[in-house]
Structure 1
Amino acid sequence: MLTTTTTKVLEPGDIEAALAVLGRDPVANAFVAARVQVAGLDPWRLGGEMWGWYADGRLESLCYAGANLVPICAGPEAVRAFADRARRAGRRCSSIVGPAEATAALWSLLEPHWGPAREVRAHQPLMVTRSMPADIEPDPLVRRIRKDEMEVIMPACVAMFTEEVGVSPLAGDGGLLYQARVAELVGSGRSFARIEDGRVVFKAEIGAATPQACQIQGVWVAPEHRGRGLSVTGMAAVLRYALAEVSPVVSLYVNDYNAAARAAYRRVGFEETGAFMSVLF
């Protein structure tokens, strides 16, 4: 049987079909689904284009092309089509990130044209939980950050980003975009921290959030306070907020070499259900 396939940039009228694709895996697709649910498919509001791959006239796969390039529900044919479009458009993203299998296939096709990458993180376990741990008491000092505490939280956010990504978020535009993102999370009540003597000792955010699933990100403990178990009790506190107020499923993804973080998340009840991959430029 012959199959007709095509790709195109999706338009606002394609929203229902796009959400249906995203809904096939609400946990893995939470980052993109959250953006689409808020901004729709208009590229200016979305912060990038949404590419669609069609088979026999049916939308089967997506690829978000903004600051990140993110393949969504993409099999081999869709990946080849997205790679061809990305190659012709030229690299505009700072990373490729998504489910490990599709991201690896996409990068294998783009590397001859876009490489080398600054760093490739080939296996980042995706961890999920639906309940609070029975034996962990959430840290009572972890609380929401107020809008007037931006000067308190920003140094910790910058330190976390620099440690995690390997470059400062203040480079380029002086940190304007990054500060705006931090302010957005604070303003929406999704930034949490434990503060001692005016300094952040633990922090985390509920980043992507949909009614189906949300994703914890930016988990960080000040270096001089590591080893005190703050990440376990702090994560339990953030998890309590997430489950009670945001989504019934909470996820995160972590670098496979970060054994301490993986152990802490398992202690709070997160289980590995899949893997992401990130290619950093």
Structure 2
Amino acid sequence: MLMVPVRQLGEGERGAVERVLDQDPYAAAQVAERIAAHGLSSWRAEGRIFGYGSRRQVESLCWSGGHLTPVCAGKPAVAAFAERLGAEERICSSIVGRAEAVLGLWERLSTHWGPARDVRENQPLLVAESTPDVPLDPRVRLVAMDEIDLLFPAAVAMYTEEVGVSPLVEDGGRSYRRRVTDLVRARRAYARIVDGEVIFKAELAVVTRHTAQLQGVWVAPAWRGRGLAAAAMAAVMADALARVAPTVSLYVNDYNVAARRVYDRCGFRAAGAFATVLF
């Protein structure tokens, strides 16, 4: 077998890693946030980061943990990462990132790690730098700590609808509830609540110095089709841009036409495409 220039990176190469992450700040946001918080020690970060390139020049990255995420990975890097990872058992629950790299990894890893539960090949990556020119919904606000019991059922419904499995399955929902609680505590969870019911929610699931990445955008089924989503999203964007980061970003399934219309109204622009492989 040919040796490939892939190696696990450590804290001593953090500067090189951050330079690669900065080359694609929107697609690399999830990896960048984790490294900013935990560094490159795998025992602290609950994952490993592999680099492709010479000792003098790290060209591409691949984060391997609960998710597998390639960063700035062209075809040679994808092939090299796949060769390294294909020798190991799968530990990730998804492969997510720029579409070309993700689908290239999956083409090579599917015989080792398959089958996948779902492959979403085209998820437009969208970015906005300014508050949209639509009225803001003043009833959308940050969720308070004493409202977690109201938010949690809506979060479970959103996750189940989006991912296709319930977050309650693995451990009764304890880890997912911790995640929701952490977002509320960090002032990154938004909702509109009517008579004790969450009818709209969204979270800043990832925050870096470049962007706040929105996830978990959801409207209660009974409230869909009433035109509330754009104003609610605008309120979230206004707060995030004023308080958290210079841009707001997200990725969306290409078939979610209603959501894409809302994001278009809110001034998001295309910044490429993601793909996700779900296990």
The answer, yes or no, to whether TM exceeds 0.5 is: yes
- Paired residue type of 1:243: L
Structure-to-structure mapping, 1:264-279, within 5 angstroms: 264-279=262-277
Match of 2:253 in 1: 255
- 1:20 partnered with 2:19: yes
**Would the aligned equivalents of 1:76 and 1:105 in 2 still touch at CA under 8 Å?**
yes
After TM superposition, the structure 1 stretch with the greater mean CA deviation from structure 2, 176-185 or 188-197, is: 176-185
Consecutive aligned runs of 4 or more in structure 1 exceeding 6 Å deviation = none
Match of 2:184 among 168, 183, 186: 186
How far does the alpha carbon of each residue in 1:185-205 deviate from its partner, in whole angstroms, 9 at most, with x for none?
111000000000111000000
**Would the aligned equivalents of 2:24 and 2:71 in 1 still touch at CA under 8 Å?**
no
Match of 1:214 among 212, 215, 219: 212
Deviation (angstroms), 1:8: 1.3
Match of 2:278 among 257, 273, 280: 280
Unaligned residue ranges in structure 2 (runs of 5+): none
Match of 1:42 in 2: 41
Deviation (angstroms), 1:211: 1.3
- 1:169 partnered with 2:174: no
**Would the aligned equivalents of 2:4 and 2:80 in 1 still touch at CA under 8 Å?**
no
Matches of 1:253 and 1:157, distance apart in 2: 18
Match of 1:57 in 2: 56
**Would the aligned equivalents of 2:159 and 2:166 in 1 still touch at CA under 8 Å?**
yes
Deviation (angstroms), 1:5: 5.3
Structure-2 change in CA distance of 1:44 and 1:229 (3 Å): farther
- Paired residue type of 2:61: L
Structure-to-structure mapping, 1:94-105, within 5 angstroms: 94-105=93-104
Structure-to-structure mapping, 1:131-210, within 5 angstroms: 131-134=130-133, 136-210=134-208
How far does the alpha carbon of each residue in 1:30-65 deviate from its partner, in whole angstroms, 9 at most, with x for none?
111111111111113222111111236311111010
TM-score computed with the length of structure 2 as normaliser: 0.97
Aligned length: 277
Unaligned residue ranges in structure 1 (runs of 5+): none
TM-score computed with the length of structure 1 as normaliser: 0.96
